[in-house]
Amino acid sequence: MQSDILRYYHVNKIFMSQIGVWPYQNRAIRILIPTVLTFIDISYVAAEMIRMFDTWGDVDIAVECIISTIIVFACFTKLFNLSFRINEMRYLFSLIEYHWQVFNNSTDVEILQNYVVFGRKVVIFYSIYVYVSMILYLLMPMSPQILDIMMPLNESRPRKFLFEVEYRIDREKYYYLILFHSYVAVIGVMSIVVCADTTYIAYVQHGCSLFAAIGYRLEHIVSREYELSQMNYFTDNEERKCRDMEVDDIYVNQQTVYRELVICLRKHQLAIQYARLLESSFMLSTGIQLSCNMLALSLIGIQVISNLDSTEDLIRYLSLCAGAFFHLLWMSLPGQRLMDHSMKIFDKACRSHWYTFSAESKRLFRILLYRSNVACTLTAGKIYVMSMENYSMVVQTAMSYFMTFSSLK
């Protein structure tokens, strides 16, 4: 990828390089880092399974172990999707570079820059939120030690673990070693979440910028402002004056309008192809993640209702529940944005003074209207459309489940 384009995705490069899925990374690194992450988290899940079987019959421990396993499985679905589809990821980045070469007039470049800068801000905000939430969650097992320093008692408070694990060793003697393993496992999982989700956001944001640039060009296809914006800044003043005279009347120069429509159609096709490739690259992974998210939400809801009398456990499970809802929101919001931007092409086209077009231009215009009336969507396994409407439905369903569990209790 060219350096002038790469600077916009420098943050994504850092996150992807950390877990070994940057498409232009050394192949050995791309194999080594995911392998190490997989080994660490599988060993941690194994310790949880041992703990669950040793305490068989304790529903709270069993549910907590299952929730942790589901979260790890969903995160590694993200990792394996990026790792095994490395060619698709590289091709998407090459398409981004190609689009910056095709959308090369001043207005298009400005729109693409605005969207990529906004996307970078979103990526930074999301990563900060996840890492800060992770740090606060990791501090919870250390609360007894902190309280012993701030408000000491006659005896030390009992130590707490991040999750229920069993290593067949003295848990008190090797407490900090066990806690360190827990921390490394959680940091690895959260790094995968940040990398995969920010990559997804960056890809979708670029797709939105393509539709926005096309929509602006369509809306101003015969306006004086748009014609003037297409002028080369290096043309001399005399040529500019001649051009001003040519665009004074929006009903002339139908050949120019026809050429602009052809360009818009070609660029629209490029945007649709990009959206389809993006959807196919993340479809299976998103479907598995959505299933895991819903299952984890159900189990977390049971734990919230079961621990209403325990303030500390209630806070812990409520934070997990909020994290699950937040993650689902950030899976749905990019899909909604891409859908909205693809549908806006129809509205922008209808504002383009189409009634002044020639018969030849109107035939092209009908083709564009027909295709732009179908939204580009991101789906989870071709079943669930990632949109805010479906997200609100999921939230309402989850809330009804929580109320049902609460009434039963």
In the prediction, which pLDDT does 38 show?
92
**C-alpha span between 128 and 122 (Å, rounded):** 10
**C-alpha span between 97 and 110 (Å, rounded):** 15
Answer yes or no: is pLDDT of 207 > 90. Answer: yes
Q: Is 2 helix (H, G, I), strand (E, B) or coil?
A: coil
In the prediction, which pLDDT does 28 show?
92
CB 313, CB 121: distance < 8 Å: no
Answer yes or no: is pLDDT of 146 > 90. Answer: no
Using pLDDT thresholds of 50, 70 and 90, give the confidence band for residue 35: very high
Answer yes or no: is pLDDT of 33 > 60. Answer: yes
Q: Which two tokens stand for residue 374?
A: 């179908």
In the prediction, which pLDDT does 3 show?
63
Answer yes or no: is pLDDT of 57 > 80. Answer: no
Q: Which residues contact 61 (CB under 8 A, 6 or more apart)?
A: 51, 52, 55, 164
pLDDT in tens, 175-192: 888 889 889 999 999 999
Using pLDDT thresholds of 50, 70 and 90, give the confidence band for residue 61: confident
Q: Is this prediction's pTM over 0.75?
A: yes
Q: Which residue has the higher pLDDT, 123 or 313?
A: 123
In the prediction, which pLDDT does 238 show?
52
Q: Which residue has the higher pLDDT, 57 or 193?
A: 193
Bridge-based pairing of strands 379-380 and 384-385 is antiparallel
Tell me which of 81-95, 185-199, 389-403 is least confident.
Answer: 389-403
Answer yes or no: is pLDDT of 279 > 90. Answer: yes
Using pLDDT thresholds of 50, 70 and 90, give the confidence band for residue 80: very high
Helices (H), 19-58: 27-54
Mean pLDDT over residues 358-380, rounded? 85
Strongest mean pLDDT among 105-109, 115-119, 136-140, 324-328: 115-119
Encode burial over 55-66: b for 16+ CB neighbours within 10 A, e otherwise. Answer: eeeeeebbbbbb
CB 371, CB 265: distance < 8 Å: no
**C-alpha span between 38 and 227 (Å, rounded):** 55
| Of 183, 181, 202, nearest in space to 15 by CA | 202
Q: Which residue has the higher pLDDT, 164 or 129?
A: 129
Answer yes or no: is pLDDT of 98 > 60. Answer: yes
- Can you give the residue ranges of every domain in the chain? 3-408
Answer yes or no: is pLDDT of 202 > 90. Answer: yes
Answer yes or no: is pLDDT of 349 > 70. Answer: yes
**C-alpha span between 9 and 116 (Å, rounded):** 8
In the prediction, which pLDDT does 62 show?
85
Using pLDDT thresholds of 50, 70 and 90, give the confidence band for residue 2: low
Mean pLDDT over residues 285-305, rounded? 85
Using pLDDT thresholds of 50, 70 and 90, give the confidence band for residue 248: very low
Mean pLDDT over residues 84-98, rounded? 92
Percent of the chain with pLDDT over 70: 90
Burial class (CB in 10 A: 0-12, 13-18, 19+), 385: middle
In whole numbers, what is the pLDDT of the chain averaged over residues?
84
How many residues are given for the chain? 409
**C-alpha span between 231 and 319 (Å, rounded):** 54
Strongest mean pLDDT among 53-57, 114-118, 396-400, 402-406: 114-118
Phi, psi for 408 (deg, rounded to 5): -65, -35
**C-alpha span between 380 and 213 (Å, rounded):** 27
Mean pLDDT over residues 298-311, rounded? 78
Answer yes or no: is pLDDT of 240 > 60. Answer: no
- Taking CB atoms within 8 Å and a gap of at least 24, the contacts of 137-143 are 137/186, 137/316, 137/319, 138/162, 138/183, 138/186, 140/312, 140/316, 141/179, 141/182, 143/312
Cα-Cα-Cα-Cα torsion 245, 250, 254, 258, nearest 10 degrees, comes to 110
Q: Which residue has the higher pLDDT, 354 or 241?
A: 354
